Every structure is written in structure tokens, then in C-alpha cells.
Structure 1
Amino acid sequence: MRVLLLNTLYAPHIGGGAEVMLQLMAEGLRGRGHDVQVLCTGPDAGLQRETFNGVAVLRAGLRNLYWPFDEKRHGPLQRLAWHGLDRYNRSMRSVLAKVLEEVEPDVVVCHNLSGWSISAWDAIRDAGLPLVQILHDQYLTCPRGVRFHKGRHCEQQCASCALLRRSHASASSEIDAVVGVSRYQLNALLDAGYFAGSQTHVVYNGSPMAEVPVAPPASGRRPLRFGFIGALTPNKGVEWLIEQFQARGDDASLLIAGRGDSTYVNQLKSLADPQRVHFVGYRKAAEFFGEIDVAVVPSLSPESFGLVALEACAHHLPVIASRMGGLTEIVLDEINGLLCSPERSDSLGDAIERLVREPALRQRLAARAREVVAPMLSVERMLDEYEAILRHTLLTRGVQHGTAIPVSTL
């Protein structure tokens, strides 16, 4: 198949788990003999062509008020105007239309649409091409991609988000197939009225985590180490973690790895006891997991998937996680970790205290951690499932439109 993968960013620019999964998908499909190209946005005008790890990459200059991934801070009115243009960006639609004419793919797979907007769907539809949409976040219901405001998860769509997403649900009904990276992620959009006419699928992100030996129990070696790794942003629950750890995590330490806005990071540091809570900056996940005994994922808003939790389990670590979103499909309470709830603030402290006081429980959870998530780890499994979806989408589209599908693509 000739496959075009569309996303906001592509390696080496990594915004989160979506870019990690996208790179695995692009390189994996190419390794299986498919003609794969990636189209993403970039800060420079025009269309830049390059090859990254053998994959052809096109970087289209973003036609909006500013490039949102630089270090510059933008005011609320400017951000609102940016999102207003991103509701339906006709300029980016014309860029995509020209690329489709040049590349002539058999199928287009859309990932994150920020920067492209849903105008991408119309460009693909006008080209007569089958389209698969993969859902990594809440962009289609919230311009920021995460329904989180004033320290809380947004149970209902706010007025500004509803206005900026007024026609998105109806537009989504013409998508051929939609894939959620978790059952939660798919259902969140279906329940909101999206993708009424689409074939629906769930494909868990693969993660090529090599087998690692089970670490010996921490008891007798050093105090227990809890660890958080990820973006240091308010919705990740780091403030909640620091507060609960310092109240309940006696005779233990907390390592916090990641980067974020300097003002917010300094605010977090002001809450922390430097004797017990250590900010270690950016760290590679595999190295970080080798230094801790328990991973904590205290998200205050639902995670679409929860790649950090998956990778921690792959390293035989018990995980304390919020009972929200895709995390509950990775962390099974009392089996490979403990679940807590932001609505019950002390539930996080209770979980921390249990794993400090009950080494037998900690060891039992660690012993099952990788076993529970093993089926999710396989990148080959993920590629098999996506290949099947792409072939089925091509075949279905061909039958519906009475067109012949080349045998080579099936």
C-alpha cells in the first residue's frame, strides 16, 4: 500500500506518546514493504522534504498566527485567535490537497489534527481517498486536546469549546474508519456523537520495551523510591502527588522526572521538601524506571492511553494510577497496581502508605506487572492490527464505490 500518515509533529520533534507511536507505525509499515510517507507541520514556510530513519517526511510550514511549539509565551487573546483559525484552516487544506495530488496515496491515516484542523478531512474526501482517523487525545472536543480547566477535568464541554467544535461531530460521520488507542478514548468520542457512520476499532499502542530482570526487593537496601515521569503540567497531578507523598510516604523518597514551564516547575519545587522529593529533570524512561520501586501516574484528567504506566509495568514496577481514562485498561487494581481517585484526595496517600508498609503486597503486584500488559507491548501485534484495518478500509471503500482495488495493495 501507498500510505500517507498525517500528524501535527514527527520525529525528532516529539510532543508525546502520539509521536512515539507514529514513528513506530511509519518505520514498521515501511519495514513490511509498504510505501510510507509522513506529512506534518513545521515552523518554516513552504514544504520541506527529508528522510528520517528511512521514512520520507514532508514538513509543511504552519499557516497560522505562530508556531505553538517554541519557547515564546503567547497571551490569551492570541491563543484564542490561533484556535479560532484552527477550527477550520483553509490554508492548510490547500497545502494538503497539493501533497495528495503529488503523493497519490492509496489511503490516508490521520493522527493528531492540531495545526491541520478538520479541513484535512475535506481535502482527503475531495481527493476520493479512504481515510482512517486515529484518536490520541480530546482535540475533537477541546482545542487544547485535554479537557482540563481550573484544576479539574471538564465533565461537560464548556461554551468556548462547544463553539470552536460546533460542526466537528457532523463532519466526522463521513470518516471511513476510526481507531481509539484505548477503549476509553474511542467511547469518549462515540458517546459525544462523533463518527456515527464509521467503522470503529481499538488498537493499543505497542511499546518495544526489552525484557528486563526483576529487581530485588528494596527492603534492606535503601528507602523505597516512588517515581513520576512525564510532562510537568497541572493536569498530570504532580501537586497532588507531592502533597500526598509528604503526608504519608514516611521513610521513602520521591523522584520527579520531566520538564515543564519554568514558573510552574518552580511552584512545584516550592511545595516539596528537598530532603525527600527530588526533581531530576529530563530522563530516559528505561533508565528512570531502573532507579525506582513504584511508579505513580496521578493524572487529574483522563489519559487517552497511558504509555508511562505501560512502560513502568514492562519494567516489573507496580503502578499507582488514577482511576481515569485508558489507565484503567493498563493498571488493574490489586493485580499489577493500585488505583486511586482525584475525587478522594486521600486515596493516593492511602495507596502510597500501603506500598510502604506492605512489602509483600508490593512484591506481588510487581510480579504480575509485566505479565498483565505483555500482549500490549508487541509492536508487531500493533502493526498487524493496523495493516488489517487499512486493508479492510480499502476493500470496503472499493466495494461501496464499485472500483477495483489493485491486488498488490491487499
Structure 2
Amino acid sequence: MSDMSMASISMTSISMTGRNGDSTSMTSRRILFIIRSYRPDQVGGGAKSVQTLAEGLVERGHDVHILRLAPRGEEAATLRAGMEAGVTGPGKPTLHVLPIRNIYWPYDKRRRSPAMKAVWHTLDLWNFRAARDVRQMLDIIRPDVVNTSIIDGFSTAILREAKRSGARLIHTMRDYYLICSRSGMYRAGENCTSLCSGCKVVAGVNRRQTRNVDMFLSNSAFVAETHRRHGAFGDDKPCAVQWNVNDRPLVPEPRALADGAPMVFGYIGRLAPTKGVEKLIEAVRQLPQGGRPWTLVIAGDGEPGYVEGLKAQAAGDPRVKFLGWQAAEDFYGAVDVVICPSVYNEPLPRVIYEAYGFALPVVASRVGGNPEVVTPGETGELYDGEDAAELAEKIQHFRTLPAETYAHYSAGALDMGGVFTSGAVIDRYESHLEKLFDAA
């Protein structure tokens, strides 16, 4: 554990500039984010979202701390890696590292037997040792606000400790951990519409702990409504949508694409069955050879056998190209339309708002949080995630667009991208903090 004075910081007034340039007064808070992993070895986009929010709050004058897990015995090495990567230190959040208190570290890609997995998840229902560790850290840090987010490995036992510390407690829902043992609400190739018997147990245990939460945030209304529908929290609990930060600067102007010019459609992300890339390849193979020239580029990595299967599916079609891993800036700079074909109810794919920042329209499946940020005819188009023929129609729609209409989509995408800038997102988060303390 890091050394830190037990004395609490005195509250100071800091300046907050709103989107309209109006300067308001905001109270500086000591904020502790609790999340299972963080840079440089982050697992998933949730860690990136917490990082960008935390760093933005530091810039606003808040005293921000991150508490994360690491494999047992690797706490010091994890802290050093964070310092070397520049994610902690002067002008950055303070990083604290705890050892995981379970039978293995689940993010090392090693295969475990069903029995070991069952033991791990049973311990994760109520991890009293993790709760003890967190209680000790809370005594040291003494935060005004605790914001938990992606807490598998900690368990919801830490929510009670956060509440007992006297801090205001926010829980941000970035997955379905509170109601699903796998955190995904996805099984046997389908999205779950109800809770299985095992998940009912998980939801019941966690519901007793979520009573300690003062405010729920979610990166999409879909995720919030799903949790409330399945009893993760009651109607008495405030819940608001808190979108994530796109930390890349917006391009200065919309894109232009000449009539008849070749078009590049692109997918970027993990290559896995939930991502819908098979449906995407099925769709593009339905498109005619003639007309406006086009290509589909697929950027990303995945399990080797699965990736080989995708390549075999696309074999013989020269219009489909696999790029492997690519830097986001290189990818977005080389495509004209981004496709987000998920078949899984993703809370809110980062690829959508990253594309908007590059003034790129998006064709997205009508699942999860996607319909909340994709406006047909303005920022992109939506389709039924299981319908390859409808996806093919949307791609063909963009192939036949005149330059003026493409420019309209591009301008709409860039305008929507402004909602995800650091200033806009942190303004919204600070407004939630104010409401939280005003309600006390």
C-alpha cells in the first residue's frame, strides 16, 4: 500500500468551464475509482474509460486515486509499470494496487477447469478478504467519493465497506456483472432475455449490496434499464447515463468524398463471435461486383483458429482485406464508413464515438446501446444485427450516396463526436457529483 497522510484534504473551490464557456464554481473532491485492472495491462475498454475520466478530473483540480488488483506477489511490479507508463505520478491520478484474493488471476488467458471456475465465481460472490483490504485502503485514502466500476475480483462486498467509510458511493455499470455470473448476459450464441438459475443467485446476493450505492451511472440507458428490470436496484435509486471520454481530438471539419470515388468500409476491434464479423462478411459477399469500387478492411486480432475461419469465409473475395492489428489513427484515417456489427448487446462500443471524432459515419447493429448514439440519416444507419441482408442494404446505401449526402452524414457524425469530448463528459460527471452532495 502506498504511504499517504491520514489527514483529509481541505475542500477548495476550482473553476469549471461549461460547454458554452460559462465559468462556474465546483468543489474539489477526493475521488477514489475502484476497478479490477488499469493501464498498462488493462483488460477491456472499461479501464481506458476510467483512465480518461480520472485524468480529466485531475486536470479540473480534483484529488483522484485509482485502486486496482494485480496477481498476488506482483503488486510492486504493477505499480512500477504504471509509473513507467506515465499513468501515475505528478499531474496524474495516484495509483494503489492490491493483490487479488481469489484462487487465480483470471486475465492471463490461461485455461481453467470448470471446477476451478466455479470455485472462483463462488468466492467472488462475497470476497471478505478483498473487502478487508479495501477497508484498510479507505482508512488511508479517506475519499469523499468512491466510484466502483468493473469489480469482479473485488466482489460487491466492497460496496458495504465504501458506504461505511462515510464516502458518497457511485457504481458505474459498464457490463452486466451485478446480474450475470459471466458479466455478459450472452450465452450459446444468443443474448439473454432472462436470468438463468445461477444468475438469479448472483443477482440476489448483489442486490443486498447495491442498497449501499447512492447513485448508479451507466454508459448507456440500455444497460441501466436492463439492470433495473432484473432487480439490480430499486426505483428509489437515482441512475443516470454517463458516456465515456474520447480522448482523441476531433478532426477540424467533415470529410468530403467525390461522386463515384472508391469507398473503404472498415471494422476495427477484437475478432470474436460476439462482434458479428461473420455476419459482416456474409453481408458483403451479397453485394454486386459492379458499380462504385469499394473494399472492406478488417483490423484486429483474435483467437487464431477463429480468425482463420473468418479468412476462409472471405476467401475468393478480393474486396475483403484483413489488416491484423492497426493503430486507431491509421485505421480511421484510411476508411470512409465504420461498421459496428456486434450481435451481443454491447453497453456502448468505443469504436462508434471514436469514429465520430474522425467525422466518419457508422453503420451499426441495433443492439445494446448502439441506437442511443446512432441516428439514421444523420450520423449513420442501423440494422438488425442478425440480418446480413439488411446490413448489405445499408452498405449498398452508402455505395450509392452522392457527395453532398455523404458530407451530411460526416457533418452529423462530427457534431455528435462533440458529446464525447473530455470537457463535455467531465462537465456531466461533475454535475452528478453536485447532485449527489446536494441530495445529502
TM-score, normalised with respect to structure 1: 0.90
Match of 1:240 among 271, 279, 293: 279
Alignment-mate amino acid for residue 230 of structure 1: G
Verify: 1:205 aligned to 2:249, yes or no.
no
Q: Is the 8 A contact 1:45 1:62 kept in 2?
A: no
Distance change in 2, residues 1:301/1:110 (3 Å)? same
Match of 2:52 among 24, 31, 39: 24
CA apart distance, 1:69 = 1.6
**Partners in 2 of 1:218 and 1:167 — Cα distance?**
58
CA apart distance, 1:395 = 4.3
CA apart distance, 1:367 = 3.2
Q: Is the 8 A contact 1:297 1:309 kept in 2?
A: yes
Q: Deviations over 1:187-212 (max 9, x none)?
A: 22122222223222222212133232
Say which is worse superposed, 110-119 or 243-252, in terms of deviation.
243-252
Q: CA RMSD in A?
A: 2.1
**Partners in 1 of 2:272 and 2:173 — Cα distance?**
21
Q: Deviations over 1:16-51 (max 9, x none)?
A: 331122111211112222211100111233754454
Query: What does residue 18 of structure 2 align with?
Result: none
Identity %: 30
**Partners in 2 of 1:171 and 1:71 — Cα distance?**
30
CA apart distance, 1:185 = 2.0
Match of 2:177 among 135, 139, 145: 139
Query: What does residue 372 of structure 1 align with?
Result: 416
Distance change in 2, residues 1:275/1:78 (3 Å)? farther
Match of 1:9 among 25, 37, 42: 37
Verify: 1:44 aligned to 2:87, yes or no.
no
Verify: 1:307 aligned to 2:350, yes or no.
yes
Q: 5+ unaligned residues in a row in structure 1: which ranges?
A: 398-410
Once the two structures are superposed, the pairs formed by residues 59-98 of structure 1 within 5 Å of their partners are 59-98=97-136
CA apart distance, 1:312 = 0.8
Once the two structures are superposed, the pairs formed by residues 130-209 of structure 1 within 5 Å of their partners are 130-196=168-234, 197-209=236-248
**Partners in 2 of 1:97 and 1:47 — Cα distance?**
18
Matched residue of 1:167: which SS? helix
Distance change in 2, residues 1:192/1:355 (3 Å)? same
CA apart distance, 1:99 = 0.9
Verify: 1:268 aligned to 2:310, yes or no.
yes
Matched residue of 2:423: which SS? helix
Verify: 1:256 aligned to 2:295, yes or no.
no
**Partners in 1 of 2:96 and 2:416 — Cα distance?**
38
Say which is worse superposed, 209-218 or 133-142, in terms of deviation.
209-218
Matched residue of 1:325: which SS? coil
Query: What does residue 148 of structure 2 align with?
Result: 110
CA apart distance, 1:169 = 2.5
Alignment-mate amino acid for residue 148 of structure 1: Y
Matched residue of 1:266: which SS? helix
Q: Deviations over 1:130-184 (max 9, x none)?
A: 2111111111112322211122111122222223333222431331111111222
Match of 1:390 among 426, 433, 438: 433
CA apart distance, 1:220 = 5.3
Distance change in 2, residues 1:29/1:344 (3 Å)? same
Distance change in 2, residues 1:46/1:391 (3 Å)? farther
Say which is worse superposed, 342-351 or 207-216, in terms of deviation.
207-216
